[in-house]
Amino acid sequence: MLSLLVSALSISAPTFAWVLAGLALRRVGLLSETLITQVSQLAFRFGLPAMLFAGAARIDYSTIGSARYLLAGALATLLTLAGAWLYSNWRGHPQAQRGIFVQAAFRSNLAIVGLALAVAAYGERGPVIAALPVAVLTTLYNVLAVWVLNSTLGTGASIAALVGGIVRNPLIIGIAAGVIVALSGLPVPEFVATVGTGLSTFFLPVMLLCIGGAMQLSSLRNTGLLTWEATVWRLCIGPALAVVLALLMGVRGEQLGVLFLLMSSPVAAASFVMVVAARGDGALAANIVVLTTLLSVVTVTAGFFLLSLFSLAGLPG
Protein backbone atom coordinates (compact mmCIF):
# COMPACT_ATOMS: atom_id res chain seq x y z
CA MET A 1 0.00 0.00 0.00
CA LEU A 2 2.87 2.36 0.78
CA SER A 3 4.39 1.81 -2.67
CA LEU A 4 1.02 2.51 -4.30
CA LEU A 5 0.67 5.73 -2.30
CA VAL A 6 4.16 6.78 -3.37
CA SER A 7 3.21 6.04 -6.99
CA ALA A 8 0.08 8.19 -6.69
CA LEU A 9 2.08 11.02 -5.13
CA SER A 10 4.72 10.75 -7.87
CA ILE A 11 1.96 11.59 -10.36
CA SER A 12 0.11 14.37 -8.53
CA ALA A 13 2.87 16.07 -6.53
CA PRO A 14 5.14 17.10 -9.47
CA THR A 15 2.14 18.41 -11.40
CA PHE A 16 0.87 20.60 -8.59
CA ALA A 17 4.42 21.58 -7.63
CA TRP A 18 4.51 23.61 -10.85
CA VAL A 19 1.37 25.45 -9.72
CA LEU A 20 2.94 26.27 -6.35
CA ALA A 21 6.14 27.32 -8.11
CA GLY A 22 4.14 29.75 -10.24
CA LEU A 23 2.51 31.16 -7.11
CA ALA A 24 5.94 31.62 -5.48
CA LEU A 25 7.44 33.25 -8.58
CA ARG A 26 4.55 35.72 -8.72
CA ARG A 27 5.00 36.58 -5.04
CA VAL A 28 8.71 37.40 -5.50
CA GLY A 29 8.03 39.43 -8.64
CA LEU A 30 9.60 37.09 -11.22
CA LEU A 31 6.29 36.33 -12.91
CA SER A 32 4.29 39.38 -13.92
CA GLU A 33 0.65 39.53 -14.95
CA THR A 34 1.68 40.65 -18.43
CA LEU A 35 4.07 37.71 -18.85
CA ILE A 36 1.43 35.27 -17.57
CA THR A 37 -1.06 36.56 -20.12
CA GLN A 38 1.41 36.43 -23.01
CA VAL A 39 2.70 32.94 -22.21
CA SER A 40 -0.81 31.60 -21.61
CA GLN A 41 -1.96 32.92 -24.97
CA LEU A 42 1.05 31.36 -26.72
CA ALA A 43 0.42 27.99 -25.11
CA PHE A 44 -3.35 28.10 -25.65
CA ARG A 45 -3.14 29.16 -29.30
CA PHE A 46 -0.16 27.10 -30.46
CA GLY A 47 1.49 24.77 -27.95
CA LEU A 48 -1.49 22.86 -26.53
CA PRO A 49 -3.31 22.58 -29.92
CA ALA A 50 -0.16 21.14 -31.51
CA MET A 51 0.23 18.66 -28.66
CA LEU A 52 -3.41 17.56 -28.88
CA PHE A 53 -3.10 17.29 -32.67
CA ALA A 54 -0.20 14.86 -32.20
CA GLY A 55 -2.29 12.79 -29.80
CA ALA A 56 -5.45 12.78 -31.94
CA ALA A 57 -3.51 11.86 -35.09
CA ARG A 58 -2.32 8.60 -33.50
CA ILE A 59 -5.73 7.25 -32.42
CA ASP A 60 -7.26 4.21 -34.11
CA TYR A 61 -10.79 5.51 -34.77
CA SER A 62 -12.04 2.16 -35.96
CA THR A 63 -12.58 1.36 -32.28
CA ILE A 64 -14.35 4.65 -31.46
CA GLY A 65 -17.65 2.83 -31.06
CA SER A 66 -16.20 1.03 -28.06
CA ALA A 67 -14.81 4.19 -26.44
CA ARG A 68 -17.01 3.75 -23.41
CA TYR A 69 -14.77 5.93 -21.24
CA LEU A 70 -15.66 8.87 -23.51
CA LEU A 71 -19.39 8.19 -23.08
CA ALA A 72 -18.92 7.77 -19.32
CA GLY A 73 -17.25 11.20 -19.12
CA ALA A 74 -20.06 12.91 -21.02
CA LEU A 75 -22.79 11.19 -18.99
CA ALA A 76 -21.02 11.99 -15.72
CA THR A 77 -20.85 15.65 -16.73
CA LEU A 78 -24.59 15.78 -17.39
CA LEU A 79 -25.41 13.91 -14.18
CA THR A 80 -23.15 16.20 -12.16
CA LEU A 81 -24.87 19.25 -13.62
CA ALA A 82 -28.33 17.86 -12.87
CA GLY A 83 -27.37 16.76 -9.37
CA ALA A 84 -25.67 20.06 -8.54
CA TRP A 85 -28.69 22.01 -9.79
CA LEU A 86 -31.08 19.98 -7.64
CA TYR A 87 -28.77 20.27 -4.65
CA SER A 88 -28.43 24.03 -5.08
CA ASN A 89 -32.20 24.38 -5.34
CA TRP A 90 -32.64 22.26 -2.19
CA ARG A 91 -30.06 24.35 -0.33
CA GLY A 92 -31.83 27.54 -1.35
CA HIS A 93 -28.85 29.19 -3.01
CA PRO A 94 -29.69 32.58 -4.58
CA GLN A 95 -30.28 32.24 -8.32
CA ALA A 96 -27.35 34.54 -9.13
CA GLN A 97 -25.01 32.16 -7.28
CA ARG A 98 -26.64 28.93 -8.45
CA GLY A 99 -25.21 29.17 -11.96
CA ILE A 100 -21.70 29.78 -10.58
CA PHE A 101 -22.04 26.81 -8.23
CA VAL A 102 -23.38 24.45 -10.91
CA GLN A 103 -20.75 25.45 -13.49
CA ALA A 104 -17.99 24.85 -10.94
CA ALA A 105 -19.43 21.43 -10.10
CA PHE A 106 -19.13 20.00 -13.63
CA ARG A 107 -16.36 22.03 -15.29
CA SER A 108 -12.85 20.67 -14.73
CA ASN A 109 -9.56 22.03 -15.98
CA LEU A 110 -9.02 18.92 -18.09
CA ALA A 111 -7.18 20.60 -20.97
CA ILE A 112 -4.27 21.72 -18.77
CA VAL A 113 -4.19 20.18 -15.29
CA GLY A 114 -5.96 16.97 -16.35
CA LEU A 115 -3.73 16.56 -19.39
CA ALA A 116 -0.60 17.21 -17.31
CA LEU A 117 -1.69 14.53 -14.84
CA ALA A 118 -2.36 12.08 -17.69
CA VAL A 119 1.13 12.67 -19.08
CA ALA A 120 2.66 12.23 -15.62
CA ALA A 121 0.83 8.93 -15.15
CA TYR A 122 1.04 7.35 -18.60
CA GLY A 123 3.77 9.16 -20.50
CA GLU A 124 3.20 9.60 -24.23
CA ARG A 125 0.10 7.36 -24.02
CA GLY A 126 -1.58 9.98 -21.84
CA PRO A 127 -2.30 12.60 -24.55
CA VAL A 128 -3.36 9.90 -27.02
CA ILE A 129 -6.01 8.54 -24.65
CA ALA A 130 -7.02 12.01 -23.44
CA ALA A 131 -7.33 13.74 -26.83
CA LEU A 132 -10.92 12.75 -27.59
CA PRO A 133 -12.31 13.35 -24.08
CA VAL A 134 -10.64 16.76 -24.04
CA ALA A 135 -12.26 17.69 -27.36
CA VAL A 136 -15.72 16.33 -26.56
CA LEU A 137 -15.87 17.52 -22.96
CA THR A 138 -14.42 20.96 -23.73
CA THR A 139 -17.22 21.46 -26.26
CA LEU A 140 -19.81 20.09 -23.84
CA TYR A 141 -18.52 22.29 -21.00
CA ASN A 142 -18.85 25.44 -23.10
CA VAL A 143 -22.38 24.60 -24.26
CA LEU A 144 -23.57 23.75 -20.77
CA ALA A 145 -21.85 26.74 -19.15
CA VAL A 146 -23.55 29.17 -21.52
CA TRP A 147 -26.93 27.54 -20.87
CA VAL A 148 -26.45 27.54 -17.08
CA LEU A 149 -25.28 31.15 -16.91
CA ASN A 150 -28.01 32.27 -19.31
CA SER A 151 -30.60 30.60 -17.10
CA THR A 152 -29.35 32.10 -13.85
CA LEU A 153 -27.66 35.36 -14.79
CA GLY A 154 -29.44 36.26 -18.03
CA THR A 155 -26.24 36.67 -20.04
CA GLY A 156 -28.12 36.66 -23.35
CA ALA A 157 -25.38 34.80 -25.22
CA SER A 158 -26.70 33.68 -28.60
CA ILE A 159 -26.43 30.20 -30.10
CA ALA A 160 -24.50 31.66 -33.05
CA ALA A 161 -21.94 33.22 -30.72
CA LEU A 162 -21.63 29.94 -28.81
CA VAL A 163 -21.08 27.87 -31.97
CA GLY A 164 -18.61 30.44 -33.29
CA GLY A 165 -16.61 30.33 -30.06
CA ILE A 166 -16.45 26.53 -30.14
CA VAL A 167 -15.43 26.39 -33.81
CA ARG A 168 -12.66 28.94 -33.20
CA ASN A 169 -11.35 27.24 -30.05
CA PRO A 170 -7.66 26.42 -30.78
CA LEU A 171 -7.77 23.22 -28.74
CA ILE A 172 -10.73 21.87 -30.68
CA ILE A 173 -9.15 22.95 -33.98
CA GLY A 174 -5.95 21.07 -33.12
CA ILE A 175 -7.81 17.89 -32.18
CA ALA A 176 -10.09 18.11 -35.23
CA ALA A 177 -7.06 18.42 -37.50
CA GLY A 178 -5.51 15.35 -35.87
CA VAL A 179 -8.72 13.38 -36.36
CA ILE A 180 -8.82 14.37 -40.04
CA VAL A 181 -5.23 13.22 -40.57
CA ALA A 182 -5.90 9.91 -38.80
CA LEU A 183 -9.08 9.25 -40.81
CA SER A 184 -7.48 10.21 -44.11
CA GLY A 185 -5.47 7.01 -44.16
CA LEU A 186 -2.22 8.91 -44.68
CA PRO A 187 0.73 7.56 -42.73
CA VAL A 188 1.48 9.61 -39.64
CA PRO A 189 5.21 10.49 -39.57
CA GLU A 190 7.11 9.11 -36.60
CA PHE A 191 8.31 12.57 -35.64
CA VAL A 192 4.72 13.55 -34.74
CA ALA A 193 4.92 11.45 -31.57
CA THR A 194 8.31 12.98 -30.73
CA VAL A 195 6.98 16.50 -31.27
CA GLY A 196 3.93 15.76 -29.13
CA THR A 197 6.09 14.49 -26.28
CA GLY A 198 8.39 17.50 -26.54
CA LEU A 199 5.51 19.96 -26.50
CA SER A 200 3.93 18.30 -23.46
CA THR A 201 7.27 18.42 -21.67
CA PHE A 202 7.52 22.19 -22.25
CA PHE A 203 4.06 23.72 -22.51
CA LEU A 204 2.22 21.85 -19.77
CA PRO A 205 4.64 22.93 -17.00
CA VAL A 206 4.57 26.48 -18.39
CA MET A 207 0.78 26.55 -18.26
CA LEU A 208 0.80 25.16 -14.72
CA LEU A 209 3.21 27.92 -13.72
CA CYS A 210 0.80 30.46 -15.18
CA ILE A 211 -2.14 28.96 -13.27
CA GLY A 212 -0.18 29.31 -10.03
CA GLY A 213 0.94 32.83 -10.90
CA ALA A 214 -2.62 33.92 -11.62
CA MET A 215 -4.00 32.68 -8.28
CA GLN A 216 -4.83 35.28 -5.64
CA LEU A 217 -4.73 33.59 -2.23
CA SER A 218 -5.93 36.77 -0.57
CA SER A 219 -9.35 36.15 -2.09
CA LEU A 220 -9.77 33.12 0.17
CA ARG A 221 -10.18 35.38 3.21
CA ASN A 222 -13.83 35.77 2.26
CA THR A 223 -14.44 32.10 1.51
CA GLY A 224 -17.98 31.08 2.45
CA LEU A 225 -19.83 27.80 2.75
CA LEU A 226 -20.92 27.92 -0.89
CA THR A 227 -17.29 27.83 -2.02
CA TRP A 228 -16.65 24.71 0.06
CA GLU A 229 -19.81 23.05 -1.24
CA ALA A 230 -18.76 23.70 -4.84
CA THR A 231 -15.30 22.36 -4.05
CA VAL A 232 -16.73 19.08 -2.72
CA TRP A 233 -18.87 18.68 -5.84
CA ARG A 234 -15.96 19.41 -8.18
CA LEU A 235 -13.27 17.34 -6.49
CA CYS A 236 -15.25 14.47 -4.96
CA ILE A 237 -18.79 13.98 -6.25
CA GLY A 238 -18.16 14.65 -9.96
CA PRO A 239 -15.11 12.35 -10.26
CA ALA A 240 -16.85 9.63 -8.21
CA LEU A 241 -19.81 9.69 -10.59
CA ALA A 242 -17.48 9.38 -13.57
CA VAL A 243 -15.60 6.42 -12.08
CA VAL A 244 -18.77 4.58 -11.02
CA LEU A 245 -20.34 5.06 -14.46
CA ALA A 246 -17.15 3.94 -16.20
CA LEU A 247 -16.89 0.83 -14.02
CA LEU A 248 -20.52 -0.05 -14.70
CA MET A 249 -19.77 0.27 -18.42
CA GLY A 250 -16.77 -2.06 -18.14
CA VAL A 251 -14.02 0.55 -18.44
CA ARG A 252 -10.72 -0.46 -16.82
CA GLY A 253 -7.00 0.22 -17.09
CA GLU A 254 -5.46 3.25 -18.74
CA GLN A 255 -8.76 4.60 -20.02
CA LEU A 256 -10.26 4.60 -16.52
CA GLY A 257 -7.13 6.18 -15.07
CA VAL A 258 -7.05 8.96 -17.65
CA LEU A 259 -10.78 9.59 -17.30
CA PHE A 260 -10.41 9.96 -13.53
CA LEU A 261 -7.48 12.36 -13.87
CA LEU A 262 -9.38 14.52 -16.36
CA MET A 263 -12.61 14.56 -14.36
CA SER A 264 -10.95 15.11 -10.96
CA SER A 265 -9.06 18.25 -12.00
CA PRO A 266 -9.87 21.58 -10.31
CA VAL A 267 -12.28 24.13 -11.72
CA ALA A 268 -11.17 25.60 -15.04
CA ALA A 269 -10.08 29.25 -14.95
CA ALA A 270 -12.35 29.82 -17.96
CA SER A 271 -15.31 29.50 -15.61
CA PHE A 272 -14.19 32.67 -13.81
CA VAL A 273 -13.82 34.51 -17.13
CA MET A 274 -17.35 33.54 -18.19
CA VAL A 275 -18.86 34.60 -14.85
CA VAL A 276 -17.17 38.00 -14.99
CA ALA A 277 -18.28 38.47 -18.60
CA ALA A 278 -21.83 37.69 -17.48
CA ARG A 279 -21.51 40.28 -14.68
CA GLY A 280 -21.85 37.61 -12.03
CA ASP A 281 -20.07 37.24 -8.69
CA GLY A 282 -16.45 37.14 -9.86
CA ALA A 283 -15.11 36.90 -6.29
CA LEU A 284 -17.08 33.70 -5.67
CA ALA A 285 -15.93 32.19 -8.97
CA ALA A 286 -12.30 33.10 -8.22
CA ASN A 287 -12.50 31.61 -4.73
CA ILE A 288 -13.75 28.30 -6.12
CA VAL A 289 -10.97 28.16 -8.72
CA VAL A 290 -8.27 28.83 -6.11
CA LEU A 291 -9.65 26.48 -3.44
CA THR A 292 -10.20 23.57 -5.81
CA THR A 293 -6.71 24.03 -7.25
CA LEU A 294 -5.11 23.95 -3.80
CA LEU A 295 -7.10 20.95 -2.51
CA SER A 296 -7.04 18.89 -5.70
CA VAL A 297 -3.53 17.64 -4.93
CA VAL A 298 -5.07 15.75 -1.97
CA THR A 299 -8.18 14.45 -3.74
CA VAL A 300 -6.39 13.46 -6.95
CA THR A 301 -3.71 11.60 -5.00
CA ALA A 302 -6.29 9.82 -2.83
CA GLY A 303 -8.50 8.89 -5.79
CA PHE A 304 -5.67 7.59 -7.94
CA PHE A 305 -4.30 5.67 -4.95
CA LEU A 306 -7.64 3.90 -4.55
CA LEU A 307 -7.81 3.03 -8.25
CA SER A 308 -4.27 1.63 -8.07
CA LEU A 309 -5.04 -0.26 -4.86
CA PHE A 310 -7.78 -2.18 -6.66
CA SER A 311 -5.64 -2.59 -9.82
CA LEU A 312 -8.04 -0.46 -11.90
CA ALA A 313 -5.72 2.33 -13.12
CA GLY A 314 -3.59 0.28 -15.52
CA LEU A 315 -0.31 1.86 -14.47
CA PRO A 316 2.62 0.73 -16.65
CA GLY A 317 5.03 -1.63 -14.97
Query: pLDDT tens digits for 83-137?
Result: 999 999 999 999 889 999 999 999 999 888 998 899 899 988 888 888 888 878 8
pLDDT given for residue 219 in this prediction: 67
Whether 190 is in a domain gets the answer no
Q: How confident is the model at residue 66 (pLDDT cuts 50, 70, 90)?
A: low
In 3D space, the residue among 266, 267, 206, 170 whose CA is nearest the CA of residue 35 turns out to be: 206
The answer for 168, left when phi > 0, alpha when psi is -120 to 50, beta otherwise, is alpha
pLDDT given for residue 231 in this prediction: 96
Whether 269 is in a domain gets the answer yes
| CA–CA dist 126, 257 (Å, integer) | 10
For 139-194, write each residue's pLDDT tens digit: 888 788 878 888 787 755 566 666 676 677 777 788 788 888 878 877 777 766 67
For 195-242, write each residue's pLDDT tens digit: 666 766 777 788 888 888 877 777 677 678 999 999 999 999 999 999
Whether 180 is in a domain gets the answer no
Q: Which domain holds residue 109?
A: 2-30+69-156+201-309
Whether 163 is in a domain gets the answer no
Whether 63 is in a domain gets the answer no
Whether 150 is in a domain gets the answer yes
pLDDT given for residue 205 in this prediction: 85
Give the list of residues 6+ apart from residue 183 with CB closer than 8 angstroms, or none: 61
Higher pLDDT pick, 280 / 91: 91
How many structural domains are present in the chain? 1
Whether 168 is in a domain gets the answer no
Whether 76 is in a domain gets the answer yes
